[in-house]
């Protein structure tokens, strides 16, 4: 695993998150909160989970003592979540850019639902990005269900070929 590869993964993740944020900024509060059958029962809860996961991985990577999943305490608005999301995207980019390549095989210990897990740093970055892709896909389906159609292409090939959402 190389720094160039992990930076591309991080850049793609943030690029796609930026597109999703643009979509979410276009929907109404009613669409944001509407109950929909999925892993999380609204667009709001799915977006909160995405941001929560990104934030907590940064905490795991920084070895923050007793990190708290954002969704356990977030009660803010869509705009407030988007601001947190944008800050988290910057933090993620900075962390990946500055993480020593020599430490990519470093073991990261973290707890999920009370169970301790251990994975190499590079594996956790790939996991985080795969997890985010899964939930962004759910958001697309949920947004369609509330009548949103203003999607842009966030496919990995589009990112590599054009570097822009189109």
Distance CA 120, CA 17 (A): 24
Residue 115 phi, psi dihedral angles, 5° rounding: -100, 135
List the CATH code of the domain at 3-162: 1.20.120.450
> Cα separation of 129 and 132, whole Å?
5
Could you read off the pLDDT of 66-93 as tens digits, one per residue? 888 898 899 999 999 999 999 999 999 9
Q: What is the pLDDT along the chain (166 residues), one digit of tens a residue?
A: 899 999 999 999 999 999 999 999 999 999 999 999 999 999 999 999 999 999 999 999 999 988 888 988 999 999 999 999 999 999 999 999 999 999 999 999 998 888 999 999 999 999 999 999 999 999 999 999 999 999 999 999 999 898 765 4
For residue 74, the SS3 value is coil
CB 46 within 8 A of CB 142: yes
pTM, two decimal places: 0.93
Q: Where are the domains of the chain?
A: 3-162
Q: How far apart are CA 158 and CA 15, in angstroms?
A: 11
pLDDT tens for residues 12-21?
999 999 999 9
């Amino acid at each position: 695993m190389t720094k160039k590869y992990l930076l591309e993964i991080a850049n793609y993740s943030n690029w796609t998150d930026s597109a999703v944020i643009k979509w979410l900024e276009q929907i109404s509060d009613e669409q944001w909160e509407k109950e929909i059958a999925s892993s999380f029962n609204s667009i709001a809860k799915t977006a909160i989970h995405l941001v929560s996961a990104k934030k907590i991985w940064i905490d795991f990577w920084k070895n923050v003592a007793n990190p708290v999943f954002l969704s356990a305490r977030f009660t803010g608005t869509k705009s407030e979540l988007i601001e947190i999301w944008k800050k988290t995207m910057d933090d993620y980019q900075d962390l990946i850019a500055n993480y020593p390549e020599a430490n990519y095989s470093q073991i990261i210990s973290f707890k999920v639902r009370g169970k301790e897990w251990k994975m190499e740093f590079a594996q956790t970055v790939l996991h985080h990005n795969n997890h985010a892709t899964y939930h962004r896909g759910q958001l697309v389906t949920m947004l369609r269900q509330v009548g949103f159609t203003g999607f842009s292409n966030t496919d990995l090939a589009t990112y590599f070929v054009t570097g822009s959402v189109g």
